[in-house]
Chains A and B, each alone.
Chain A
Amino acid sequence: MSGPLHKFDRPNSYIGRSVVRPDAKRLVEGQGNYVDDLQLPRMVHAAFVRSPYAHAKIISIDTSNAKSVTGVVAVFVGNDINSQVKPWTATLTHLKGMRSPPQLPLADAVARWQGEPIVMVVAQSRAIAEDACELVEIEFEPLEPVCNTEIAAQRGTPLIHPELDSNVAWEREVVAGDADTAMQGSDITTLERTFHFGRHTGVTLESRSVVTEFNKSDDTLVFHYSGQAPHMMQAVLSKHLQLPEENVRVVARDVGGSFGIKIHTYGDEIATAVAARLLCRPVKFIADRLESFSSDIHAREHRVHGKIAVNKNGEIVALTFDDVTGIGPYSMYPRTSAIECNQILNLTGAPYKIENYYAKGTVVFQNKNMMCQYRAVGHPVAMAVCDSLIEDVAHEINMDVVDIRRRNLIADDAYPVTSATGMKFNELSHHQSLDSLIAMMNYDQLRNDQKSDRAAGIYRGIGLVSMVEVTNPSPMFYGVGGAPIAAQDGASIRLDAAGALHVSCSVTEQGQGTNTILAQIAAEVFGVDIDRVKVTTGDTANVPYGGGTWASRGAGIGGESVLLAAKALKDQVLDVAASILQTSADSLDIDAGTVINIADGAERMDLGELGKIVYYRANELPPDIKPELIATRHYRVTDYPFVFTNSAMAAHVEVDVETGFVKVLDFWVVEDCGRVINPKLVDEQIRGGVVQGIGGALYEECLYDDDGQLLNATMADYLVPMAAEMPDIHILHVETPTTTSNLGAKGAGEAGTGGAPAAILNAVNDALRPLDTAIHQMPMTPERILKALYPDKL
């Protein structure tokens, strides 16, 4: 496909306009519909007894005292729930050799991470359920926990799953060219670094939340959840509770943040569905914050050893690295926990021309909470490793960090390009974006100021990153490997009798403004005012089939399906109008809810009038006109496995060499996400993403001790970015629309989180450089920076 259907650039186009979100008013007035707001007749509340050990045999469980508490409805141990569930196994066939044992909702014989649910208590209130949890007695026999990823795979380390011969879940090697040979030679400079990335987690402000209803009479289950992918969850519930898929309805109304955290299969949520079925009454489970920290997926625990080689012109001749990551005791279902590592293998160095490349990834099991896909999956690690090596080696050969990028970034006119790792790139603008970044941040001036600051004992650093982001995925991401995850999305649009449009679409809203941009697209393509467009998302009973929101696909894929449906509906409506008006459809258009003549713009018929004729006075229509006034279209990306975006970012930081504190002074982003539908919403996605990235770079880490005990599972101890620490973030766009769709939009949800850590890492090391030290561990806490500064004293 090529070329836009519509002139989105016309004056007053809804595309490219910062339309205010129609649903925002409801949320600021306290009228949201989050899962915990739901009160249903006879509803009861679940709480879980979770393993206090990272690894332990469960010898016996005594629930008699818990059962006797007034208000307790049921106490379920492992087999009570597990026997109702078909186990799930989180592997994908395209990740060759991957393994992970079958899983069930509750730990039965062995608990394998601290926080794993073991007993479920259902009671009249959550408080009573928690009281009863205290009275459940479990006898454990602690087993040796395996926490350290570096030794998990070694011989002699206890096996987490004795049926497997090692703790290795998956391994992959990528080889392109001949890195070893390329690194030889007298004019080659090589540089090696070991990077450590701490575990962190999503910390959605609304915790994971589920209310499940089961109707015995017709064998139907309704699963209200705070999540991103209703149809995937429908398939999962159907398969593992063994209910016909059509009997499962999944509803996601307002979602209080998700970021990939709420797109997985959690044992406690499945147990809640089972309990509703067993008890035939609605069951609510709202994770408390401790449960969130110890059972929401974590991400990013990686140790990467990387090596770069450049020639004297600063051209990268080879890049090699190996990555070891621990994912907890199982792979998470159904996306698997190997994708993060896979992304790192695929994306490291992606913006640059690199012919000789070697990467090895090892994914191991360990006795910590499970890891899986969280916003910007793999990107923060991939970008930080490559761009840190590039900036460090640039200094090694006395080259400016912007200059070295210009010498290595793939030329803007070189596309399509296939990378050393086999990724297909098209329509990217690395050079233009970098140029625009340099101008926006006033790079030369900053460098000059830096010199004078250093002379005055102020240590400021500038760090950059050039990056790609995976967006608009095709079925090559998950579907190809057998996961029940749709890469296509659908939209239905109908015209009602009053001339308003009703859009239902399978992508979902978690606050990004998805519903708003869908309304903008429908309004623009069809020709009505946006306040005449009502959008429904997040309900399997009411939207076409589709994948939901993940991998930055809402605008690009969901948006395109709306565009196609709006165009199809418009053609239909014009046919009907032409028949009524005794003219040809080609001579008519729709503008602001009115059918007009293309030639002179004269108003011919209001859409409300057309609706009334079709619905109420169809006798006025010729018999051969059978209007539908509804159109459905689906869309998937066919030309490429993924539609990549690119951005260039820069951070300006100050390191206090006495306290180790890092202050982020400024942050700049130039983003190319193709056609921008709503500039304000895109900018806010980037800002929120950057702040999450800064969190990972400077503050956030799930800290475990050697016994696998999570040490900081509260919001007071796990540090997230707060307003006072964050800078204003400056954003510019380069718009290179993708020709894979009419709309031309790519995703924008994850770039900030993917790129910011690299820019911050480079900026901190730039600040530390005159002190002859560096840090390659995230988060870069004051303590770690002081250790880097004063290795002998600490």
Chain B
Amino acid sequence: MSQKTNIALSVNGEQVQASVPARLNLVDFLRDHLGLTGSHVGCEQGACGACTLSVDGVMVRGCLMLAVQADGANIITVEAFGESVTGEQLQQSFVEHNALQCGFCTPGMLASGIDYIESGGSTDRTHIRKHISGNYCRCTGYQSIVDAIASVVEGRNSLAVETKQTPGAEESGTSNKRAGE
């Protein structure tokens, strides 16, 4: 138990070196060792999604991964979600739509939302609901979270239409249609 392993990783763009017990999970490492307390722990068994964060561009459960497994990885937590365009838009949209009450599920919800948007998800509410169904929220009833995600997707779609429309008006018909799908 006391056996420690040296790890080196990038966390929110900062190089970090640490010596960690083998059994320490990633989210506890981030919270207790690095003071990045934005990621939350709700169940420690992968069920609630509160600890979801980005490891090498993939959204994972911080409670199901050991800190030693993150050796060499590039980690982004909620504290730095705002540095990506999607992250910033979604954070803003969460505020506007009141997509959080207590805020405890929010880091994980944002992570799943970013994942959905970046993987090209549509404004279809059923799809959004399915995608965030690994994230538990006791407060909101989910509707405002769905609204917040849908509104970012919508904003992007209309932006895509505009940028396509400006240079070549002849293309607008098709891009309009695509955006409306």
State whether B100 touches A722 (Cβ < 8 A): no
- Mask, A200-231, CB within 8 Å of B = 1, is 00111111000000000000000000000000
Query: Residue A511 contacts which of B23, B36, B101 (CB distance < 8 angstroms)?
Result: B101
Least CB separation from A727: chain B residue: B143
Tell which of A27, A29, A723 touches B146, judged by Cβ atoms closer than 8 Å.
Answer: A723
Say whether A688 faces chain B, with CB atoms less than 8 Å apart.
yes
Seen from chain A, the residues whose Cβ lies within 8 Å of a Cβ on chain B are: 20-21, 24-25, 27-32, 34, 36-37, 39, 70, 127, 131, 202-207, 254-259, 288-289, 510-513, 680-681, 684, 687-692, 714-716, 720-726, 728-729, 752
Q: Are A723 and B132 in contact (CB under 8 A)?
A: yes
B102 touches A510 (CB 8 A): yes
- Given A36-B41, A256-B40, also A726-B141 (CB < 8 A): yes
A257 CA / B125 CA spacing, docked (Å): 25
- Minimum CB–CB distance from A602 to chain B (whole Å) comes to 36
Closest residue of chain A to B125, judged by CB? Answer: A728
Q: Do B98 and A21 touch (CB < 8 A)?
A: yes
Asked if B101 and A688 make an inter-chain contact with CB atoms under 8 angstroms apart, the answer reads yes
Please name all residues of chain B whose beta carbon is closer than 8 Å to the beta carbon of A21 when the two chains form the complex. 95, 98
Q: Which chain A residues lie closer than 8 Å to B79 at the CB level?
A: 29-31
Roughly how many angstroms separate A720 CA and B103 CA in the complex, as a whole number?
A: 18
A684 and B138 alpha carbons, distance in the complex (Å):
12
Contact surface of B with A, Cβ cutoff 8 Å: 1-2, 21, 23-24, 31-32, 35-45, 47-48, 50, 77-79, 81-82, 91, 94-96, 98, 100-107, 110, 125-126, 128-130, 132-146
Interchain nearest-CB distance for A537 vs B (Å) = 14
With contact pairs A20-B95, A726-B141 given, residues A32 and B133 touching in the complex (Cβ less than 8 Å): no
Contact B45 A715 (CB under 8 A): yes
Q: Please indicate the chain A residues that have their CB under 8 angstroms from the CB of B77 in the complex.
A: 30
Contact assessment for A722 and B133 in the assembled complex, using a CB-CB cutoff below 8 Å:
yes
Do A724 and B107 form a contact, CB below 8 Å, given A206-B40, A687-B140, A687-B141? Answer: no
Main secondary structure of the interface of B (DSSP, over half): loop
Shortest CB-to-CB span from A62 to chain B, Å, is 22
B138 to A692, Cβ gap below 8 A? yes
Q: Which of A28, A259, A289, A724 is in CB contact (< 8 Å) with B43?
A: A289
CB contact under 8 A between A34 and B141, given known A29-B82, A715-B48: no
| Contact sample, A vs B, 15 pairs, CB 8 Å cutoff | A25-B91, A28-B94, A30-B77, A31-B38, A36-B37, A127-B1, A203-B138, A205-B105, A205-B137, A259-B138, A715-B48, A721-B142, A724-B130, A725-B133, A726-B142
Q: Which residue from chain B places its CB closest to the CB of A516 in the assembled complex? A: B98
Q: Is the CB of A511 within 8 A of B103?
A: yes
Q: How far is the CB of A713 from chain B (nearest CB, A)?
A: 11
- What distance in Å separates the Cβ of A552 from its nearest Cβ neighbour in chain B? 15
How many angstroms between the C-alpha atoms of A288 and B43 in the bound complex?
A: 7
Contact assessment for A289 and B45 in the assembled complex, using a CB-CB cutoff below 8 Å: yes
A70 to B1, CA, bound (A): 11
Cα–Cα, bound, A383→B157 (Å): 45
Q: Say yes or no: B45 contacts A716, CB within 8 Å.
A: yes
Shortest Cβ distance from residue B70 to the other chain A in the assembled complex, whole angstroms: 18
Given the known A-B contacts A27-B106, A691-B142, A728-B143, are A715 and B43 also in contact in the complex, defined by CB atoms under 8 Å? yes
Besides the known contacts A25-B95, A513-B101, 8 further A-B residue pairs in the complex with CB atoms under 8 A apart: A20-B95, A28-B103, A30-B79, A206-B40, A257-B138, A289-B43, A688-B140, A714-B43
Inter-subunit contact A29/B101 (CB<8 Å): no
Q: Once the chains bind, are A724 and B129 in contact (CB under 8 Å)?
A: yes
A680–B98 CB distance below 8 A: yes
Output the nearest chain A residue to B23 by Cβ-Cβ distance: A127
Residues A20 and B96 in contact, CB atoms below 8 Å apart: yes
- Indicate if the CB atoms of A511 and B139 lie closer than 8 Å: yes
CA distance A25 to B77 in the complex (A): 16
Least Cβ–Cβ distance between B118 and chain A, in angstroms: 17
**Which residues of B lie under 8 Å from residue A39 when comparing CB positions?**
32, 35
Complex formed: what's the CA distance from A204 to B43 in Å? 11
> Across the interface, which residues of A come within 8 angstroms of B38, CB to CB?
29-32
Bound complex: CA A205 to CA B135 (Å): 11
**Residue pair A289, B42 in contact (C-beta under 8 Å):** yes
A513 CA / B107 CA spacing, docked (Å) = 19
A24 CB contacts on chain B under 8 angstroms: 94-95, 98, 100, 103
